[in-house]
Amino acid sequence: MLIIDCPWCGARPEIEFRYGGEAHIARPADPAAMSDQEWADFLYNRTNPKGLHAERWRHIHGCGRYFNAVRDTVSDFFVTTYKAGEPRPDIGESGK
């Protein structure tokens, strides 16, 4: 089980959290202006990297809030967590 550091509550076991998928995918401001391909990219296409991944987590059985994390998908090591709305920390593209 992973130990995840909620920016509000501190380190807690994984079962208190829900995974929220890739972070920093903003809903387009004007969906009607987009092509079908752009809309599909937004809805479905994901980076799915082998290495560092910026992702959303929700502390559902704690404070209930969403936050972001950078995790290495090769080792599952959490490099950092940060509050929603903050930019992705600059720690390179890939852990491997």
Residue 14 binding target from other proteins, Zn ion, none, CB below 5 to 8 Å by type: other proteins
Site for other proteins in 31-90 (CB under 8 A): 36-37, 39-41, 43-50, 53, 55, 71, 73-76
**Any residues with CB less than 8 A from the CB of 70 and at least 6 apart, and which?**
52, 53, 54, 55, 78, 79, 80, 81, 82, 88, 89, 91
Contact residues for other proteins, defined by CB under 8 A? 1-2, 14-15, 17-19, 21, 36-37, 39-41, 43-50, 53, 55, 71, 73-76
